[in-house]
Structure 1
């Protein structure tokens, strides 16, 4: 299906009938003027070589060439496709421990909350790489496949809790093997696992798993949380976790185990207490891994056919040789200027695409902005400019670019993509109500899009999370003079680039909501059925390990 990028150039076609009328009037005036000056029989001798047929032939060449140049300036194109942008990236899987030992508070506010904050900062630092998520306790959930959807990763990490996995315990070996299975079989890309855990393991299969990952060429970076002195595990009842003998369980970080895993796989060991220094160190290590080209869905391109009209137009102009050189030069200059504006904008778009595919988002944004200045209503320039701004974390500017793109296009697929990206930018700014409306508008244009459905559900969950909970009535107390503390709101759907403050336990998504969120969006069906399978085959599966923390 053909369309035109710049249909506004067709307004110049009104000049065609006007020129024809002027030529007819000229011929009529010429005949009258000659009849007054020279007899009809002598006109051929006075003006040798001139004929009406030659006049119409030459001027028809000129007029046809101008029409072709106008069509070329409008840029006819066939079809619209999402260009598979080639990006060089490595594959990184974050393996997060959600066992009950992570509730210990020897790292504030708890081991799990500290690990989640560290993981979210790391996801932002790994922009440009493909990132996946694996949660584990006594069993393993492959929560998110390798992707560049960092907003979804941020949401899933913020929703992680110890209640997401019914089988408690700690099986680091199984988690590492599951992570290795999530990588693509093609070994051309660097593959790394970031293990976020206190190192407590109850199955004793970590060494074998580490050797297996070493054989596969997977590097493991270990980030430890907690202390070797340890701490008890608090329970919602106010008591602490107790073993079968009724003694309070004291969970201790096992840094030696994590160091062994990192050493075996040629990785590195860090403590989460190192904060941003550890995040930056992991980012540098990942940046040194082998890269491979992966496909993205960001830039829109078209198959343009303007050259099919430009070449015949200049051939016709070359044949138009009966005019004086001044007029001929003027026509050629006009034709060149007519096409130069449209073609220069397309050249800038191609230049921006090259910068974007190589990760130079600032240079890409400048090229798109220059193209947009030449053609203020070019939807492709505005859309891609928004993508480049978003990649730089300039979410408000990306929002403005995409809003302009919506007003300059009527294509439903382009509008659906633009609404989807606009929802992401709004969510990054914490404007969840507006983000939800944007995702809904995208789904109206393209129902069933899985990415938009997931983002819409995540935004709704985060909006529910941020709703203020009813405050309990004040009870009489000896400390009545103390001010009441307002609970913090939960993490937003997509946090800003600055590291977020450590959240309170209040205001976050409830465990039940988080479990439903993962189960309905990313948990595979076989994981949802695993409990039923264990019940049907009790002789093969231990329902509860002896150490369920």
Structure 2
């Protein structure tokens, strides 16, 4: 854990059930009274001759040392603290990535071919991009290249192998327009992050940032996404819809060069021969991502009370020492156990150490979804576990009882998995009614509507009920409106030429040199943008 992340957690530290600290009052009172009696008894022993006092005193029972009441009081206070539910982080969202998405924006201009940074600025930039991919261990990352125009080299992907050949193919020759348009590269990176489910970061690999570029980035971030939580202006737009949590600049300059200034709230570094610069960028991104996660009120806080149970158990080992037992301590421990809220109860020895949700999360991480669903006390987490375990109908019923957009979205996905497409449409519509900005529901709603329309049209046109498919794989749709007759269609063949390819699959099919492919694609994109700008200008004149 870095120092920045530790400070984020320290700011978020609080207790979920702080009222349980009232139980510490009788513990402290009894401890104080017991210690006073012990001190008074020691004072009375001063009235006796020393050789008689030594014979009448139990060894080690001095009030100046550690007494049994001290150990027991400390154990009880630790148990009270554990029952109060210390927390400093949110429970990870089951459907969200655990690391922030990142867009690498690389300057690809003739100045990047300078050799003052060996072997060249551009070659070092490519090396640092690969170092970032390795450090992030498969997190979602995209690559943007810019000169006089900006282009998406590789869209968001979790596979570093996809990015490497296109990263190597970048050179000033493939860029269609000369120049250094930093603002266009930033805007394109923003558009990529806007499609992600969580906030992310942007890192620039460049050799120069002019004052005009700094002003342009300030203006762009003020009207779009925030640069950072700390750097956002008071009169900036609301945080809803903002996706840029971290903005970093990695300058391809000699180590003794002056560090250029950047936009408010951003971080800047000069490349180093080792990985210190890349690690600093990742730390800044992780800190900003954790802070954004803590601000997400839709996620429950993670109870960390188990951390205090273990030291209490270690101290209880002293219970077996002679003279360490205190009669009322067991009674107080029983009372604390009764007072601790227990919404659900899972069988086994784990109940003494972990809450039901903690047990459920351990099972969930181990992909034991059936056991996780049984252990979870939180209905949302239980519904997610049911969904992951393939119990779609039960998961949909569980989520239908919750009035949150995320629960409605998972309900819709469960209906789609169980082929209840019309119910899925209703669930997605409910999710958008609860949260109009819910991107996943907005993306799946039109798709599910198209499926329903296709089913009704297909069955309306069919009047024989014949099986149109020729293969063994069938897909059965619901037909709530009763149009047409029951029929079956063949599942789409992934190997057919008409099947849609993902961006990564399409890139792998390119049968030409990477440089030539990028050059042609960038020229086509630049021409299309110019045509769109010309058409827009003509419409404005009319």
Structure 1 length as normaliser, TM-score? Answer: 0.37
Higher CA-based Rg: 1
Bigger proportion of residues as strand: 1
Normalised by the size of structure 2, how large is the TM-score? 0.37
